[in-house]
Every structure is written in C-alpha cells, then in structure tokens.
Amino acid sequence: MRLLAIALTGLLIAVQWPLWFGKGGWLRVRELQQQLEAQRRANDENSAANKTLAAELRSLKEGREAVEERARLQLNMIRSDEVFFQLVPNKNAATQKR
C-alpha cells in the first residue's frame, strides 16, 4: 500500500512537471504574456509617433505655413518683405557683471 502511494505520487509529479516547468508550461505562458503586453505597449507608442509624423508630413505637403516655419527655424530664412534684426550681446556688459 505504501509503495503504491509513493508510485502514484511520483507519477503525479511526473505528469505535473511539464505542465508547470515544461516548454509550454504555465510559467512560460505567463512570461510570454508579459512580453506580449510589453510589445503591445511599445507598438502603441510607435503608432502614436507615426501618427504625429504623418500629420506633420501632410502639413508640409499641403500647407505653405509649415514649410515657411521650417525654413525660418532650420534654415534661418526670411521672406523678401520682412526685415531681419539680430541682437548681439555687448561684450563689455558681460565682463562688467562679473
């Protein structure tokens, strides 16, 4: 009787082991679900960034204002009917404050 109980316990452990720790076991499934959720969050973030870039691209293709803004900020360009003022800091005032 005791030998039968030990044999059944061993058999139960042998059957349960792959279920918990095997290749397709519960622990592995849980780990894969966590990885899947992390990847979905990353995909959502990338999708939002793609939507922002698509809107900016659409604005650059369709509107003149976006192109002008880029030209001003990145290339320091101005229109022909505008006047450009550049303020240069006074070197003497900077040394006197020290």
pTM of the predicted protein model: 0.48
At 27-72, the pLDDT tens digits run 888 889 999 999 999 999 999 999 999 988 888 788 788 788 888 8
Phi, psi (degrees; rounded to nearest 5) at 27: -65, -40
The yes-or-no verdict on residue 24 having pLDDT over 80 is no
Q: Which residue has the higher pLDDT, 15 or 20?
A: 15
Distance of CA 51 to the CA centre of its chain: 13
> Which ranges constitute the DSSP H helices of the chain?
2-21, 26-62, 64-75, 91-96
Give residue for tokens 């320091």.
76
Domain-by-domain residue ranges, the chain? 2-96
Rg (CA), the chain: 34
pLDDT at 40: 98
Tokens of residue 84, six digits: 């450009």
Amino acid identity at 75: L
Q: Which of 1-5, 32-36, 61-65, 94-98: highest mean pLDDT?
A: 32-36
